[in-house]
Structures are given as C-alpha cells and as structure tokens.
C-alpha cells in the first residue's frame, strides 16, 4: 500500500495551524471517514471543518493525518472509505523514521 502511494507522489510542505498543526502539536494521529464525519463535526474548529468539507466534496472518503516527529506530519486521502488501521499508522511512522536516517531524504 505504501509503495502504491509513493508512486503517485505529491508532497506539500505547509505551516498549518488546522488539523495538521494539531497533529504536529499533540503527536496523535487523526483518522476521519466521511461516513462518521457528520457526527464528529462539533469536535473541529471552523478552519478544519472547511478544509475537511472541501476534501470530502472532491470525492475523498477517508483522511488520515499522521505525525512523524521530529520530521513533521503526513496526510493521506483516499477515495475509498477505509476503517482506521493502526498498522498503517505504525508503518507510515516507521517508514518516515527510516527515511530520516538517509541523508537528504526528508529535506
């Protein structure tokens, strides 16, 4: 799964204060599915709601925001509705930490 995602690589560097900033600050991931989103809307500030609604209206069904400290945060979106996978969160974290040991890989 990670290999498939890395083939169509899109990297966005951002100094965000919304969901990405929260994940960076707390060190805790967020996994948000469109199907469950409507019951969770009150948990998010207006800026985060706007960002998530924009992604969902573009066809995204699942958003995963994962901290890879000290390197930053990665965000994944899928057009499929995917149940939360701690294995995926762990694999992403491990991969990014491994890349961190390769000079220049995460710069």
CATH topology classification for 2-100: Beta-Lactamase (3.30.450)
Query: Where are the chain's structural domains?
Result: 2-100
Q: Give the model confidence (pLDDT) of 26-70 as tens digits.
A: 899 999 999 888 777 778 888 888 889 999 999 999 999 999 988
**Which 8-state DSSP code applies to residue 11?**
-
Structure tokens, 102: 């390769």
| pTM listed for this prediction | 0.76
Side-chain half-sphere exposure of 20, counting CA atoms within 13 A: 14
Q: Could you give the angle at which helices 19-26 and 46-57 cross, rounded to 10 degrees?
A: 120
Query: Does the pLDDT at position 2 exceed 70?
Result: no
Stretch 93-106: mean pLDDT:
75
């Amino acid at each position: 799964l990670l290999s498939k995602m890395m083939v169509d690589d899109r990297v966005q560097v951002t100094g965000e204060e919304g969901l990405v900033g929260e994940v960076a600050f707390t060190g805790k991931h967020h996994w948000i599915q469109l199907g469950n989103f409507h019951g969770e809307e009150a948990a998010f500030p207006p800026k985060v709601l706007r960002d998530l609604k924009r992604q969902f209206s573009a066809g995204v069904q699942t958003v995963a925001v994962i901290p890879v400290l000290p390197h930053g945060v990665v965000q994944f979106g899928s057009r499929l509705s995917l149940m939360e996978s701690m294995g995926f969160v762990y694999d992403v974290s491990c991969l990014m930490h491994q890349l961190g040991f390769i000079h220049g890989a995460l710069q």
